[in-house]
Structure 1
Amino acid sequence: MGFELARFEGEVDEELICPICGGVLDVPVQAPDCEHTFCSGCIDQWLRLNPTCPIDRQPLLSLHLKPAPRILRNLLSRLDVACDFQQLGCGARVKLASAAQHAAQCEYNPSRPVPCGSGCGLMVPRDQLAEHCCVRALRLLVDDIQALRCEQAELRQAVHDLRRQLLSAGISPPAPLPSRSALPSAAGDDSMAGDESLQLLTELMDRAHERGWPDGVASLEQRQTNRRQYDSYVIRRVPGKQAVLLLACENRHMPPGLMLEPGIVMIFAHGVE
């Protein structure tokens, strides 16, 4: 759904309004032939029931949609919009491009994290302070840490499997280690290759969480915008794991915002399919 028109000052150009929901475009996408533009969420929901453009009824499928032109996205980003929490007392008006960031930090946001006043040191959503129990929260934190340790062990095993796959495929790191020249000459090529593999695997492990992914896939919004390009990835399955490997050396054709050196590891909770 788009943004409510009432949140914007003055008249909004009709080119920036979604013809399905009537709001200002949110994550705009465009039909390839007729070039009609819609909110990504609105048109996806429409096409589940009607595989045609809602304006001119031309045949249309979700896989045909493409991101709206940059000029339109720039115009949207410059619009002044009222804060999400205007009705709670916030009078701020910000650019649409920074509205989400402002909302997360807004003092009127009931879910904004604030420090617990009882001394446990945790940050708690403001609307949950009344029910917050330090002991229970700390126990949950310990459980989370233990779960992370288990995940770390699984990641190490995944890295081990990736190493075997890389070595069996004869793939070398895209660039030599900066410290390679400092290695003793007596170490031999095998030792240097092992260090390079370790460096490569370390970097890939850093890319095993969306925090380490490139901008084009690092957020849900960006993934929705760029999802049409994902079919172009060259992907390697990790044997026995719910994970895939995308190597930069095999994806030189991808835009910079969709790939990083030396590659990306994606681990899925419910299977690769």
Structure 2
Amino acid sequence: MTLGEALRRSTEHLAAKGSGTPRLDAELLLGRALGLQRIELYMALERPLTAAELAAARALLARRAAREPLQYVLGEWGFRRLTLGVDRRALIPRPETETLVERALSLVAGLRAPRVLDVGTGSGAVALAIADEHPGAHVASIDVSAEALALAAENVHRTGLRVELVRHDLFDGLPAGPWDLVVSNPPYVDPAEIDGLAPEVRDWEPRGALVAEGAVEAVARGALAVLAPGGALALEVGDGQTPAVSALLCALGYGSVAVTADLSGRDRIVEGVRP
């Protein structure tokens, strides 16, 4: 079988199994199996595949066909300027979370050495991106999951960036500051909606990182107690949740409450400033 034939068959197979991006998935998985970049695949479409190459490709494709997320199958994913290790221990870093980082960096842009707390760090994506793009920042991260913190530690080692990792439950309050910025992508999926999510999310990503009733409010209340005067809170929330979260921040006493849309135009980021 040639590489071109394998690419065609793989795309058709993944489409039949429900992948929303079957061609891209097939390109990336075949590239991983063969050690080729996507552009290199198209320069070798007539090359016959060896038995070992076919076996490696089929193993990866079978995982994706079972609706395991592409990112988990590949074992890594890009987030802003970084390439991070990803697996079932934490949520997959998503494009909308890059907008959260954008707002976080803007909120501390004028500070030489801001103290930043990332709540619910997961893979460490947000904390590491901030540390990467604001080298003066002192970044600490918390998560209740020991497995997620282990993955974050691997990414700290992988990137060589400086981020402090602490196991801590956000429902116990937040670590004492004062912090110049508290940033969080907390669990915000309604328990009643979990069964309606795509299999890649529902069946593979950690449930505790998706659903935790009251997490958004707990972060907002906790941050108010540990932020420095003038310090900011930035939250990523679910689609359609920004009006309620904005009202919550106003009720708690935050000022300068604002909403930012993600790259797809959906309002997803809510921020406020402690008086």
TM-score, normalising length: structure 1: 0.22
Structure with the greater relative contact order (CA < 8 A, sep ≥ 6): 1 or 2? 2
Greater strand fraction, Structure 1 or Structure 2 = 2
Q: Kindly name which structure, 1 or 2, has the bigger radius of gyration based on alpha carbons.
A: 1
Q: What TM-score do you get using the length of structure 2 for normalisation?
A: 0.22
